[in-house]
Structure 1
Amino acid sequence: MRRRTGIASAILSIVLLAAAPPTQRHYRIDPEASGVNARVAFFGLASKTAQFPAVMGRLSLPDAAASRPTSAIALDVTLDARMLQAGDAVTLKRLKGKDFFDVEHYPNVKFSGEMLRMTAARTAEIDGELTVRGVTRPETLHVTFGEPPAENLGARPILLTGTMRIDRRAYGMTAWSLIVGRKVDITIRTRMVPS
């Protein structure tokens, strides 16, 4: 009798686990409401900005992520570098050329986020890897959510702004060092919709 009771309990546990709601929230980037800017110092007095309007990606976020100090996540953001825009034709040609993004050989820029650290109700840091020109390096994206993630149960879109500062030379962009600054400030503004 005890054996039957144990088997019945095990079967009931499996059925309950199968019927339990998913523990992950899944989102996809809305490309119509998302974009990325990259700004770099120019002659030390002004700056040049490039826009990346073609953004794709997905986010898998644990239900309890907002209530934990750290959580494993899966964030994948891909920029089509061939679609980048700049303020003038000369700058655009140089950015797409071999001295900078070399879009003919490296058409995509990618960020893969792996760990989320909540720093306040609406702010967080996402550790991951950035790939530019075939070079992959660890980087941190500093994120501000439009609303606290703990208040979004997965039915509403997520609005977020992320910033990151990188050293362009670490990704093989070493040209024009006396004119163009080393540090590049990247800003992503995105709307992620449940999927």
Structure 2
Amino acid sequence: MGLFGRKNNESAVATATLPVDPALAALTGEYAIDPSHSSIGFTVRHAMVTNVRGTFAEHEGALKLDGSNPSASTASIDITIASIDTGLGDRDGHLRSGDFFDVEQFPLMSFRSTQAEQLGGDMYRITGDLTIKDVTKPLSIDLEFNGAATDPFGNERVGFEGSTEILRSAWGLTWNAALETGGVLVGDKVKLNFDISAIKNAA
């Protein structure tokens, strides 16, 4: 995520390094992720032949951007797993259960960045720690900085979007069921999608 890096050895959620110029310097400040205009979702193979898509409706995060020294920026985000929505109540309930996320014991999923690199243009690669349940593992996310704008209500916004893939089994999400025709009900590979809008806090 553009402008996010580690500062004073603190971890961060989506991080990236952008070229320093006056326009970026003007972005310096603290931001709150706007969940009503952001989306965090996933796609996973179902029954070997199709995909199930879902989102996490509840999440919050804070960004501290330093446009003059992007590597000094920080960010953090936490996702409420119980807010999962795949469009089917029974399936959502199963995903919340001990077979999968066990939301009663582990209500949050989090990401904290550790480093960032620019891939060219507005593309960045963020590496950090993803925690699901009681498992924390490194993860890299490719993100695009979509720019900054002032909305009709006077809010200063920045936007980012990107995706990555994980193997859910690496985080202990191993439940499955065999199919009579061969294969399994739920794929191991999961694509995570991020579309983030963040609002600059008032001075």
Alpha carbons of structure 1 residues 165 and 61: separation in structure 2 relative to 1, 3 Å:
same
Query: CA separation in 1, counterparts of 2:27 and 2:47?
Result: 50
Secondary structure, aligned partner of 1:170? helix
Matched, 1:190 2:169: no
Distance 1:51 1:22, change over 3 A: closer
Inter-partner Cα distance in structure 1 for 2:199 and 2:31: 5
Residue number in structure 1 paired with 2:87: 87
Distance 1:73 1:183 in 2: 31
Instruction: Give the equivalent residue in structure 2 for 1:179.
Output: 185
Displacement, 1:72? 4.9
State the alpha-carbon separation in 1 of the partners of residues 36 and 114 from structure 2: 25
Letter in 2 for 1:158: V
CA–CA separation in structure 1 for the residues paired with 2:200 and 2:142: 22
Report deviation, 1:132: 0.4
Q: Give CA deviations for 1:109-151 in whole Å, capped at 9, x if unaligned.
A: 101123221212311111111010121111012111112x7x9
Q: Larger Rg: 1 or 2? A: 1
1:48 to 21, 43, 52: 52
More helix by share: 1
The amino acid across from 2:56 in the alignment is F
Alpha-carbon distance in 2 for matches of 1:22, 1:160: 17
C-alpha distance in structure 1 between counterparts of 2:75 and 2:141, whole Å:
11
Give percent identity, aligned residues only.
24
- Shift in alpha-carbon separation, 1:145–1:22, aligned structure 2, 3 A: closer
CA separation in 2, counterparts of 1:118 and 1:157? 21
Task: Determine the C-alpha separation between the residues in 1 that align with 2:188 and 2:124.
Answer: 26
2: CA distance, partners of 1:53 / 1:167: 22
Following superposition, the deviation at residue 24 of structure 1 comes to 5.0
The letter of the residue matching 1:165 is: E
Query: Does structure 1 residue 133 correspond to structure 2 residue 133?
Result: yes
Look up the match of 1:111: 111
Taking the aligned partners of 2:199 and 2:27, their CA distance within structure 1 comes to 17
Cα distance in structure 1, aligned partners of 2:162 and 2:111: 12
Query: Kindly tell me: are residues 65 and 118 of structure 1, through their superposed partners in 2, closer, same or farther at Cα, counting changes over 3 Å?
Result: farther
Counterpart for residue 100 of structure 2: 100
* Ranges in structure 1 where 5+ consecutive residues have no aligned partner: 1-20
CA shift, 1:25, in A, is: 3.1
The corresponding residue for 2:159 is 159
Normalised to the residue count of structure 2, the TM-score between the two structures is 0.74
Higher RCO, 1 or 2 (CA under 8 Å, sep at least 6)? 2
Unaligned runs of 5+ in 2: 1-24, 178-183
The number of aligned residues is 167
Out of 114-123 and 33-42, give the one that drifted further: 114-123
RMSD: 2.4
Mapped partners of 1:75, 1:100: distance in 2: 27
1:122 aligns with 122
